[in-house]
Amino acid sequence: MKAVVKQSLGEGHIALCDVPEPAPARGEVKIRVEAAGICGSDLHILHGDIRIPMRPPFVIGHEFSGVVAEVGESVEHWRNGDRVTAENSRYVCGHCRYCRTGSYNLCSERLATGYAFDGAFAGYCVVPQERVHRLPDNVDFLTGALSDPSACAFHAVQELTGIDAADNVLITGPGPMGLFCLQYAKANGAQVIVSGTARDARRLELARKLGADLTVDVDAEELEQRIGDYLNGGEVSVLLECSGKAPALQAGLRLLRRQGKYTQVGIFGAPVPFDVDQLVYKEIRVTGSFSQKYTAWAEAIRLASLGKVMARPLITHTLPLDRWREGFEAFESGEAIKVVFEP
């Protein structure tokens, strides 16, 4: 079968290749991939600057949905034809304090689908049965493929940060993660400001349609002045940094009020400078948010089924696998909001 493969570490080294069709081992489920989205971390795989363990050569892709095509020995709850999606935590130790308390996304031995194990930019993907989630009948495959970023946003906003109707939230970076975080923050009743650059014009427009109270193009307006005017001199109470860009982090921390909450969602890919003393003088509460776990997946899928959180408006490009390079370029340039392959 055809698959998009990271052939070796470092910048680039990605190609469309012929690879063997996988077979499920004991306890595994083989899924025929119907839709698979490009994640921001896939761009870091492209550039070789991500610190999630990789074991090339491997098939890229971890945001996907599809149909169960075959089950391995001892699989009890899945049958051929089931409509599903799946988490990317492919292997965890099962014995550390994080695994035992349900935070297996933080297991130090964690290895992920699409990084260390073959992923979903292919016709078929194999995953452990315990990582599979059923798609409700009213959740289409394109929406189902974006359960992963939606669950990441749920984990960041609902499980880690905690946002309510009294909060003024600044989201820096209107990419897919920022737009999902926006929807969860608005669901909590918060006032939400989304900032981006000139190349994010299309994304900022969508943020307004999804409920953002204010959007700011930082290339055209001075962010601090614009927010100060909008909030009558006030400051934001929550910063969700989704861009992975140092200037956005630095500006966001300046705008965050004393005893505010800062959650880092985006990946920088390299160390970045910022004024750590602000955390001290302002008593800022800092949280990092990495991946997600079962609870976030279950809620993200349920809320998609109820129409409370929407994925389809984010999808601007659907492409076949042989146009993978076009998809990556459109996503990285900002032309696309979300690119989904349909193998």
Q: How confident is the model at residue 28 (pLDDT cuts 50, 70, 90)?
A: very high
What is the tally of structural domains in the chain? 2
Provide the H-helix boundaries in the chain.
Answer: 40-47, 97-100, 141-145, 147-154, 176-187, 201-209, 223-230, 246-255, 277-281, 294-305, 324-333
Mean pLDDT, rounded, for 215-243: 96
Q: 318: Cβ–Cβ under 8 A, 6 or more apart, which residues?
A: 35, 142, 339, 340, 341, 342
Measured CA to CA, the distance from residue 76 to residue 28 in angstroms comes to: 10
| Cα→Cα distances 342→137, 276, 336, Å | 19, 44, 16
Question: Is residue 94 pLDDT above 90, yes or no?
Answer: yes
- Whether residue 33 lies inside any domain: the answer is yes
Q: Is residue 296 part of a domain?
A: no
Rounded (10°) angle between helices 176-187 and 147-154: 50
Residue 23 has pLDDT above 90, yes or no: yes
Q: Give the confidence band of 269 by pLDDT, cuts at 50, 70, 90.
A: confident
136 domain residue, yes or no: yes
Judgement on whether residues 255 and 273 belong to the same structural domain of the protein? yes
Confidence at 70, pLDDT banded by 50, 70, 90: very high
What's the whole-number average pLDDT of the chain?
Answer: 96
Which residue segment(s) compose the domain that 58 sits in?
2-146+311-341
Residue 301 in any domain: the answer is: no
Q: What is the pLDDT of residues 184-201, one digit of tens each?
A: 999 999 999 999 999 999
Q: What is the pLDDT of residues 170-182, one digit of tens each?
A: 999 999 999 999 9
